[in-house]
Structure 1
Amino acid sequence: MTSRIGDMVIDCRDPEVMAAFWSSVLGYRIFARDQTGVAIRGATVSPDILFIRVPEPKAGKNRLHFDVCPTDRSQEEELERLFSLGATRSSIVGSGSWVVLEDPEGHEFCLMSKRIAPEPAAYHDA
């Protein structure tokens, strides 16, 4: 037997802002809210992402981060879209194939140059 990742949890100050940002970036939807945070889900069986409210701000560099890949446009076009959603360029320098960005609360993530296929359009609740 093995285990699978059920949820990815991100500590943040404002779960609503973070869920809205990452839903727009990834094409996910918000599917649950409670007093602790907000959860988003993609169309496939990939892990849900939970944004949990914590009182303290982010401190230091992430130990884990997302690499996001464009599905229907170039890296430059996707970079402009991510900026319009609220992403900012990080002080961490990427390589020729990725750009390091930060979400609205400063969590680092990378925009890769490689393209991947989009998720199916239909959502499935588990």
Structure 2
Amino acid sequence: MLDREDDGSVEIGPRDGFGGPQPTIILSRGDEPEQGKSRLHIDVNATDRDQDAELERLLKLGARPADIGQTGQEQWHVLVDPEGNEFCLLKARLNPL
């Protein structure tokens, strides 16, 4: 475990990678399950490129923007994969390699 937040979320993954930053997984609790949607929500945070480059890459791979009521001021993008699963692309926290 790397970190635990006051809201109960937990970040897990390696502190040091093999030659650079490695992916981590953040687990956080949702109070109410959403009908018809997956209860698993993935947040993607690229470590080898900035958010714009990762967004472009994900869109080329088949992701599509999703509108869940964002204001346009968020620092993340909400996307759906080709099977319709929502996920968020976060702003990079780590400098690109």
Question: Under TM normalisation by the shorter chain, which class is it?
Answer: 0.5 to 0.7
Q: CA RMSD in A?
A: 2.7
From 44, 50, 55, give the equivalent of 1:74: 50
Alignment match, 2:19:
none
* Structure 1, unpaired ranges of 5+: 1-43, 48-58, 119-126
Matched, 1:108 2:86: yes
Deviation per CA, 1:48-98: give whole Å up to 9, x if none.
xxxxxxxxxxx7233221100011211111100000011111122455221
Q: Which amino acid aligns with 1:76?
A: D
Alignment match, 1:18:
none
Q: Secondary structure at the match of 1:100?
A: strand
Alignment match, 1:86:
62
Q: In structure 1, how many angstroms separate the alpha carbons of the residues matched to 2:94 and 2:39?
A: 24
Q: Secondary structure at the match of 1:109?
A: strand
> Do the aligned residues in 2 keep the contact of 1:93 with 1:99 (CA within 8 Å)?
no
Q: TM-score, structure 2 length as denominator?
A: 0.53
Aligned residue-pair number: 63
Report % sequence identity. Answer: 52
Q: In structure 2, how many angstroms separate the alpha carbons of the residues matched to 1:64 and 1:113?
A: 20
Q: In structure 2, how many angstroms separate the alpha carbons of the residues matched to 1:93 and 1:76?
A: 21
* Structure 2, unpaired ranges of 5+: 1-21, 26-34
Q: In structure 2, how many angstroms separate the alpha carbons of the residues matched to 1:77 and 1:93?
A: 24
